[in-house]
Structure 1
Amino acid sequence: MSAASPAGPAQTSPPGADGVLRPDPAEPGRDVAHLAAPAAQNHAANLTVLPGGDLACVWFGGTQEGVADISVWCARLRPGADAWSAPVRLSDDATRSEQNPLLFPAPGGELWLLHTAQRSGHQDTAEVRLRVSGDGGTTWSPPRVLFPATAEGGVFVRQPVTVLPSGRWLLPVFRCAAVPGRAWSGDRDTSAVMVSDDGGASWRERPVPGSTGLVHMNVHRLPDGSLLGLFRSRRADAVHRSVSYDDGETWSQPEPLAVPNNNSSIQYLPLADGRLALVHNHSSAADATARRVSLYDEIDDGGVRAQAPDQDGGEATGDAFWGAPRAPLTLSLSADGGRTWPVRRDLETGDGHCLTNNSRDGRNRELSYPSIAQKPDGTLHVAYTHHRRTIKHLRLRPVWADREIPV
């Protein structure tokens, strides 16, 4: 099955969202682009350096998160180019909201696309779907369900696959469970790692103990052979850390780091110089003056909206906190395997208002869901949600890093 034709972004993109990288006059070595926006809302970018050198960005876009017109989109930045390609739609199920995409260049040469698919705002109905390309993303197989929802809840992905020296594949997932008789609110979500020792033909699940309320697990192998997992916290308190010393078979109970988290996504990456780079919002519930009553705004798709726990109890089934500011957008560095993150630089600041997901009326100002990649020349790339309208891309050349990030 071929990918859909490119969208007509000029009809919907905000001014300046043309995919062109332009130098930031205030910061030499930093280039900025807003990818063309194929829909009113664009969110949850993931960057991948492809084998041929292209930088690919996938995200989801549509009317609003949870609506059935939400689809997966993809754009590419060719080596040496200063402009992103027009977005191409990679999924189109008219009955489900298709979210949280990621690309995985499999060792055998295939390119995998994984994403979630849920009914309305109910993440406990989510399943993980897979499409495979044998020609680098020009054409794709029909979608199939890789991990179905179960009686215990839905299953979500967000972070990339890790391939170990043994050939083992590790895919972090999180289970979205609802309290019987109540809509999903995130309080009971738990994390696990799917393990495959046969190139993705079969998978088995390895749970992370004590991970209730901890999601978006991001796993990388460190130089000493251990695996480090970092988590988003539904409690909007802190980034949490878990480790494995047996290639992902067992995991330590996650512990909080001295890095705040606002119940929004994070991503980290081992850099070529041996340090770890984390992109995140340096904020938490402690920075919030209000919290959301509903996880989803009322929109006309015939669905029932899930309710977040409110301050007076209400729909609360635990202590998930929604509405902490999703700003600033921060780059932090660790030189001790992720235990401490003393070097911090804000990439963009703002009030991070996210008490609504509404993109059409400009009432959302979040800088969120960052993704980070490094190319062989040392250039860092960061992509993130900008006010739920566009995906913003920063290209940080070594000259910028040498000046802004102490070694």
Structure 2
Amino acid sequence: MDFHSELTVESEKPYFTSNYIPASTVQVHASNLLQLPNGDLLCAWFGGSQEGLSDICIHMSRLKKGARTWSTPQKISDDTERSEQNPVLFLNPQNQDLWILYTAQPAGNQDKAVVRRRISKDQGQIWSSAENLFDDEGLFIRQPITILKDGAWVLPAWYCRTPPGYRWIGNDDISVVKYSKDAGKTWAEKEVLNSTGCVHMNIKALHDGSYIAFFRSRWADNVYRSTSADGLAWSEPQPTSLPNPNSGICCEVLRDGRILIVFNYSSFQDGLAKREGLYDDITPDDDKRANQPKKSREAIWGVPRKTLTVGISEDQGKTWKTKVLEEGDGFCMTNNSRTKENRELSYPSIWVDGEEVNVAFTFWRQRIKFVRLGLDWIEG
């Protein structure tokens, strides 16, 4: 596979370019995009030998405004005892400090994860030492902070929960919002009621002043949707018409009020899935994941993360028009990147800049692929 590093034009009209962000590790996954005020585009992800191992760290690359290639990745985390995952970039509007938030867990034990933060005062060149932003154990993040109309900061998160004596498999995860009314100095928490199985909550402000959120489903059935008048109290998540294979999604509200989403057009109905416990390729068979107390619904893993698709909705997520962004069989029954068996297309991140849509996503757990689309391509 030739992972070209320079932006190449795939279609002059409508505008569509792509490349692969350089990688310095065997495995890469879970990218997150942020554009700085000077026009530079940052992309952070986690990389190492394999998810869950302690050499998994946070890395970041920069596409300078007007440039055609991404910078050499910068490693910006260094815990030798924990797997550091799911980076989220945030620019503090009060002082322009750049934050990076991420999770840190021992091995595959997501129920032991904590959320950490580092801060850069020079837009990502030099970083502070790591600190726990929250001490809550089992807390995970994937999506960025949203600033509400009253100035409060809201960070969507979820708890990875498991029965005592067993290891985490995702059967009992619930979503919460962490919120701060003093620019991140102190935080409170509010649970999203009846959200079991709904994770990766992605919050966006609508033009009418209310808020909407979309979720990944542990049940590998559909993308779920919730609404809120104030960004703190949320309705019970309900399934949309969009499928979901228990994998990440990302959405954005366009200038005209339409909602854009990137997701996998697959679900448990595509097969190659299992319920008996999370596969991670790093723990022994007898790892306290099997024979757990039965739940009314159980997490489904290994559904192909295929057919990465762009959707646009004109009615706040009730109905969608879709177009395929990247096709592939999406095989993901292993997280082992050394054998190069994994072919998932997953975990999109979006940054909209006027009429251009920047998307980064995991390509086969070997590279982060970056594409820049014109809205006319999506609509065409």
Instruction: Report the alpha carbon displacement of residue 224 of structure 1 after superposing the two structures with TM.
Output: 0.9
Specify the SS of the correspondent of 1:160: coil
Shift of 1:132: 0.8
Alignment of 1:209-228 (within 5 A): 209-228=193-212
Change (3 A) 1:305 1:335: farther
- Residue type of the alignment partner of 2:346: S
In the other structure, the counterpart of 2:311 is: 332
Aligned partners of 1:130 and 1:145 also within 8 Å: yes
Change (3 A) 1:28 1:315: farther
Match of 2:348 in 1: 370
Q: How far, CA to CA, are the matches of 1:303 and 1:64 in structure 2? A: 18
Q: What is the Cα deviation at residue 293 of structure 1?
A: 5.4
- Correspondences of 1:3-402 after superposition (within 5 Å): 16-17=2-3, 19-24=5-10, 29-108=15-94, 109-150=96-137, 154-245=138-229, 247-291=230-274, 295-299=278-282, 307=289, 317=295, 318-341=297-320, 343-376=321-354, 378-396=355-373, 398=374, 401-402=375-376
TM-superposed deviation, 1:292: 6.9
Q: Normalising by structure 1, what TM-score?
A: 0.88
Deviation of 1:299 (Å): 3.5
Which AA in structure 2 matches 1:60?
F
Q: State the secondary structure of the residue aligned to 1:201.
A: coil
Sequence identity of aligned pairs in percent?
A: 46
Q: Cα offset for 1:19?
A: 2.8
Deviations 1:166-212 (CA, angstroms, capped at 9, x unpaired) = 21101001001111121100011000111110000011001100001
Alpha-carbon shift at residue 22 of structure 1 (Å): 1.0
Instruction: From the superposition, tell whether residues 252 and 89 of structure 1 become closer, same or farther in structure 2 (CA, over 3 Å).
Output: same
Q: Distance in 2 between matches of 1:303 and 1:132?
A: 39
> What are the superposed Cα offsets for residues 278-313 of structure 1, whole Å, 9 maximum, x if unpaired?
00101100111443755344338x998574x7xxx7
What is the aligned partner in structure 2 of residue 8 from structure 1?
none
SS at match of 1:336: coil
Q: Cα distance 1:186–1:224, how it changes in 2: closer, same or farther (>3 A)?
A: same
Give distance in 1, aligned partners of 2:368 and 2:287: 25
Change in 2 beyond 3 A, CA 1:20/1:306: farther
1:347 partner letter = L
Shift of 1:163: 0.8
**1:7-52 deviations in Å (ceiling 9; x for gaps):** xxxxxxxx64353111125975211111111111000011111122
SS at match of 2:376: helix
Q: CA deviation at 1:265?
A: 0.4
Closer/same/farther in 2, CA of residues 88 and 17 from structure 1, 3 Å limit: farther
Aligned CA RMSD, in angstroms, stands at: 2.0
Unaligned 5+ segments in structure 1 are: 1-14
Q: 1:60 deviation in Å?
A: 0.2
> In 2 relative to 1, CA 149–20 (structure 1 residues): closer, same or farther, beyond 3 Å?
same
Q: Deviations over 1:337-364 (max 9, x none)?
A: 22221x1001011111011111111110
Q: Residues of 1 paired with 2:110 and 2:178: CA distance?
A: 19
Q: 1:257 to 1:182 in 2, by over 3 A?
A: same
Bigger mean CA deviation after superposition, 332-341 or 23-32: 23-32
Instruction: Choose 316-325 or 175-184, whichever is displaced more.
Output: 316-325
Distance (Å, rounded) in 2 between the aligned partners of 1:36 and 1:292: 35
Contact 2:266 2:305 in 1 (8 A): yes
Instruction: Measure the CA separation in 1 of the matches of 2:276 and 2:265.
Output: 23
Q: Displacement of 1:404 after TM fit?
A: 4.0
Q: Output the CA distance in 1 between the equivalents of 2:276 and 2:4.
A: 35
Give the deviation of 1:56 after TM superposition.
0.7
Tell me, in whole angstroms, the C-alpha distance in 2 between the residues paired with 1:140 and 1:391.
Answer: 23
Q: Quick one: distance in 1 between partners of 2:13 and 2:73?
A: 28
Query: Are the counterparts in 2 of residues 352 and 365 from structure 1 also a CA contact under 8 Å?
Result: yes
Q: Separation in 2 of the partners of 1:162 and 1:123?
A: 24
User: How many Å apart are 1:99 and its aligned residue?
Assistant: 0.1
TM-score (norm 2): 0.95
User: Does the C-alpha gap of structure 1 residues 197 and 51 become closer, same or farther in structure 2, counting only changes over 3 Å?
Assistant: same
1:115 shift after superposition: 0.2
2:197 alignment partner AA? G
Distance 2:359 2:272 in 1: 28
Kept in 2: contact 1:294–1:306 (CA 8 A): no
Distance (Å, rounded) in 2 between the aligned partners of 1:68 and 1:294: 22
Q: Which region of structure 1 is more displaced relative to structure 2, 90-99 or 159-168?
A: 159-168
- Amino acid corresponding to residue 55 of structure 2 in structure 1: D
Q: Tell me the distance in 2 between the aligned counterparts of 1:208 and 1:89.
A: 34
Which amino acid is 1:96 matched to? R
